[in-house]
Structure 1
Amino acid sequence: MVDSTSSHPSSDSSASTGDNLTLPRRLNLLQGTALNMIDMVGIGPFVVLPLVIKTLGGPQFLWAWILGAVVSVVDAFVWSELGAAFPQAGGSYKFLKISYGEQRWGRLLSFLYVWQTLIQAPLVVASGAIGFAQYMSYLMPLDDWQRRAVSGGVVILIIILLYRKIDSIGKIGLIMWGAVLITLGWIIIGGLSNPQIPLSETLGSMGTVSGGLIAAGLGQASVKTIYCYLGYYNVCHLGGEIKNPTRNIPASMFISIAGIAGLYLLMNISVVSVVPWQQAQNSDFIVSTFVETLYGPSAAKLATILVLLVAFSSLFAVLLGYSRVPYAAAADGQFFRIFARLHPTRQFPYVSLLFLGGLGFVFSLLFRLGDVITAILAMRIVIQFVGQAVGLLLLHRRRKASEFPFRMPLYPLPVLLAIGIWLFIFFSTGTTFMLSGLTVIGLGVVAFLVSAGVRRQWPFN
């Protein structure tokens, strides 16, 4: 593990975890990028596209997707500096602990991140599973309990697929990445080659943006689009299993963002070139409606199956990455020791996987999709995104530039810009969701103080 007095760790063939087993470094740049991209493209863009159009009330919705890409790129500079310097399992857990000091405030911030992960990671899994069941109802009528059964079954199947060595997981990820590219490619090529509405008319109306629109609707719409970009940093959670991490971690993030941003923008333009935005904003199955308009009902069913495969692939990558977070904290001695256990023969954190997957299964039976998307983002911004960016500023004050293998251009401007944008997005979630996120943080502080008091650690030592 990394301590606050060391420079960036070695990129050897395995990463030490604190017990007698290690996470092997077997994921290359292609596999890491594929896992990032399938994490980013889940059910999100297929269910969020109509919501974004409705939020802005017009064809200017494309700007919300552009803002989502800009936020991702700016924030990726923060992740790249931290991920390249500290390529270990756990991602933000490690970054927060090292940045704020491992003996004091870093303990609190990293604990709060793990605390949030125990709640928000299963919610992310549940949101994907619920969206999967929603699209499944296009193929066959499903009542409420049947949808819940489908979403719960998807989570169980994901757990079974992840219960194996990381080698085969990288290969499975490449297959799923292929499904993502085929699905988005079909939508893009189909719409742009067979437009029902002239592109000049569509793009021309998108170019009209007023200051009132930016102030009133763009922030709220961007909350939903950013949800669809989240996952560009998944490779940091797998930092202990990435080959040549000082190069591959930053490269995989920027490649993922550039690729997904291009695909999202082309997909949106393609869809509204076939389905008028006035109709698209009220569609529960926009991709199915789009393909049915072009090719008929049979093709629409095939497209729906591909969307389901993409959603399934994303859940696979999400649960894979998050299962490493409680594991890293436990291996560090800051969480329940049982989560530090690796499978004796397959070398993966099976306790953490089963716990988060089990909660995801329960949440998928309890909640609705619309109830979790905004709450997920509001819960993560303060500690993970803003806290992490501030932590990087503190880290630069204590360490030499040579200790950061990746250096962002124009430092510290991207960091300050990231902090400002994330705070803007946080306030755009609304009072209810801001309070829910702050409440989770408050409960986490109480839990930390109780735990520290029992163990006679800072601030009670």
Structure 2
Amino acid sequence: MGTGQATAINMTQMCGIGPFVTIPVMVIAMGGPQAMFGWLVGALIVLADGLIWAELGASMPRAGGTYVYLREAFQYRTGRLMPFLFAWSAVLFIPLIMSTGVIGLVKYLGYLWPGLIGADGEPNALGKVIGVVVVGIVVLALYRRIGQISRLTSVLFAVMLVSVAVVILASLTHFHPSLAFGYTPGAFSVPGGAFWAGLGSGLILAVYDYLGYNTSAYLGAELRDPGRTLPRSIIYSILAIMGIYFLFQIGVLGVMPWQEIGESPYFASLVLERTWGSTAAHIFTVAIVITAFGSVFAGLLGGSRVPYEAARDKLFLPWFGKLHPRLHFPPVGLLVMGVITAIGSLFSLTVVINMLTAVFVLIQSIAQVAALTVLRRRQPDMPRPYKQWLYPLPSIVALVGWVFIYTQTGWQQIWLSLAWLAAGTVAFLIWASVEKMWPFGPLEIREEFAVTR
């Protein structure tokens, strides 16, 4: 694949239900239309992080992605602990991402079927039951051969793009600059301005909406000239999605007062209702619901394969590496992640986003900053088709950004993420004692990507 195809794959994973459900939370957190600039700051962090992915992915082109990078970097002192913890954490944070899609689906379904949303803007008891049912439908739809669902995935993504484009077009046809650019007085004042006060919460939401910019790194072996294609696909996809999201937020802010957007669980439907009428709003709300379903469908499809790939390489619990005898897909990963997705859908959107962010930032984002540095020192002769521009500046920017975002997720989420990693460490020790590997056996070092002399 060349740069165009790789960029399209990244954007496919990035563009989902995210902005349809996070914009109200973001404008409230950042106190007004100045929330639009949260997308720009978030883009800076993920761009810096993308250059880390680019070097690691181009140097170690394997489908496993992070668990391969952590295995290579941390094998010298902790054996297989770090890649195990990544797979352990992925089993949690990937389905939590899908839970946000389920919550978003129920919220917009509430526009079509009043009575599903509570006074707090979150799904009520009936809405949560419907969310669990939706997860069950997704799991049943995925419980089949991959060849039978690839075409459906393409259709769902097309609907997703049309949904975003229609809302942007509708908002721009009835745009009021006084609403879109009516920033809160003193919003950018230092210190104490609303923008700065809400930046932490806004960045959590922005980064959540950008997730997927690293997809091409998992396809390094299938890229043409990965040293050029990989960094370009990451940068181009981030800039393109940033432009789409930025335009999306400016558009809706130009139709509705930000306070009203913040109070609406289905603001995009109301934008369409006020611009093109009730019939158009209902039609495209159906498309938004399909968009949400598509994001959950595609996410569980790919996510269920992560622990399977790790288990196949004997880096994770072995039962995740078994294929269905007739349908030839990994059923354990799909069922486990489906259950976690259903449980996550019972919580509020903000709680779920903060929790998944706390988990993946700790074991993936921060760990990969360290991995790149360790590998440059431990394996200086490893072939690197791409080396991070201006190293170590992007790594420092990414590290500072990720640490800041982690601290903003809330103490409850921080403690829960640490507890999850502690449980994973215990699971690893039990597994390692059975398999007689480090720390209950010799420390095996295998530099798979090093140059042989």
Task: Report SS of the residue matched to 1:211.
Answer: coil
Q: Which residue of 2 aligns with 1:308?
A: 289
Q: In the TM superposition, what whole-angstrom CA distance separates every residue of 1:148-191 from its partner, at most 9, and x where no partner exists?
A: 34322332333344445556655444433322322222122222
Q: Could you tell which deviates more after superposition, 177-186 or 280-289?
A: 177-186
Aligned to 2:390: 410
CA apart distance, 1:434: 1.6
- Counterpart in the other structure of 1:431: 411
1:256 maps to which residue? 237
List gaps (5 residues or longer) in structure 1. 1-26
SS at match of 1:222: helix
Bigger drift between 422-431 and 115-124 goes to 115-124
Give the Cα–Cα distance (whole angstroms) in 1 for the partners of residues 163 and 381 of structure 2.
Answer: 43
Equivalent residue runs for 1:231-310 within 5 Å? 231-237=212-218, 242=222, 244=224, 246=226, 249-310=230-291
Instruction: Tell me the distance in 1 between the aligned counterparts of 2:279 and 2:357.
Output: 36
**CA distance in structure 2 between the aligned counterparts of 1:130 and 1:202, rounded to whole angstroms:** 27
Q: Give how far 1:395 is off.
A: 0.7
Structure 2 distance, partners of 1:308, 1:46, is 10
- Of the three residues 148, 163, 177, the one matched with 1:198 is 177
Q: Distance in 2 between matches of 1:352 and 1:228?
A: 24
Q: Is the 8 A contact 1:41 1:310 kept in 2?
A: no
Q: Among 212, 217, 220, which residue is 2:198 paired with?
A: 217
2:108 to 108, 114, 135: 135
**Alpha-carbon distance change, 93 to 405 in structure 1, aligned in 2, over 3 angstroms:** same
Say which SS state the counterpart of residue 90 (structure 1) adopts.
Answer: coil
Distance 2:133 2:14 in 1: 22
> Who is 1:118 aligned against?
91
In structure 2, list runs of 5 or more residues that go unmatched. Answer: 117-123, 442-453
In the TM superposition, residue 419 of structure 1 has moved relative to its aligned partner by 0.7
Instruction: State the shift of 1:345 in Å.
Output: 7.0
More moved, 254-263 vs 167-176: 167-176
Q: Cα gap change, 1:460/1:114 in structure 2, threshold over 3 Å: closer, same or farther?
A: same
Partner Cα distance (2:125, 2:293) in 1: 20
Q: Is the 8 A contact 2:59 2:382 kept in 1?
A: no
Corresponding residue for 2:121? none
Contact 2:180 2:251 in 1 (8 A): no
Partner Cα separation in structure 2 for residue 130 and residue 274 of structure 1: 24
Note closer, same or farther for the CA distance 1:255–1:162 as it changes in structure 2 (3 Å cut).
farther
The 1:280–1:424 alpha-carbon spacing in structure 2 relative to 1, beyond 3 Å, is same
Report the counterpart of residue 180 of structure 1 in structure 2. 160
SS at match of 2:43: helix
Q: 2:22 corresponds to which residue?
A: 48
CA offset digits 1:263-293 (Å, max 9, x no partner): 0000011001111112222111110111111
Q: Measure, in 2, the Cα distance between the counterparts of 1:256 and 1:176.
A: 19
Q: What CA distance in whole angstroms lies between the structure 2 residues aligned with 1:353 and 1:250?
A: 31
Residue 231 of structure 1 aligns to a residue whose secondary structure is: coil
Shift in Å, 1:454: 3.5
How far off its partner does 1:403 sit?
0.9
Q: 2:48 aligns with which of 56, 61, 74?
A: 74
**Separation in 2, partners of 1:276, 1:35:** 35
Contact kept? 1:235, 1:321, Cα under 8 Å: no
2:68 to 94, 102, 107: 94
Separation in 2, partners of 1:220, 1:82: 29
Once the two structures are superposed, the pairs formed by residues 380-395 of structure 1 within 5 Å of their partners are 380-395=360-375
Cα-to-partner distance string for 1:225-259 (whole Å, 9 max, x where unaligned): 2111112223444667x454826544443332122
What SS class does the counterpart of residue 403 from structure 1 fall into? coil
Q: How many positions carry a matched residue from both structures?
A: 430
User: Are the counterparts in 1 of residues 366 and 399 from structure 2 also a CA contact under 8 Å?
Assistant: yes
**RMSD of aligned residue pairs (Cα, Å):** 2.7
Q: 1:239 to 1:158 in 2, by over 3 A?
A: farther
For residue 57 of structure 1, give the secondary structure of its aligned residue in structure 2: coil
Quickly say closer, same or farther: Cα 1:215–1:269, change in 2 above 3 A.
closer
Q: Distance between the aligned counterparts of 1:39 and 1:76, measured in 2?
A: 15
Instruction: Classify 1:123/1:51 alpha carbon distance in 2 versus 1 (closer, same or farther; 3 Å).
Output: same
Structure 1-normalised TM-score?
0.85
State the partner residue of 1:419.
399
Aligned to 1:13: none
Q: Give the Å deviation of 1:397.
A: 1.5
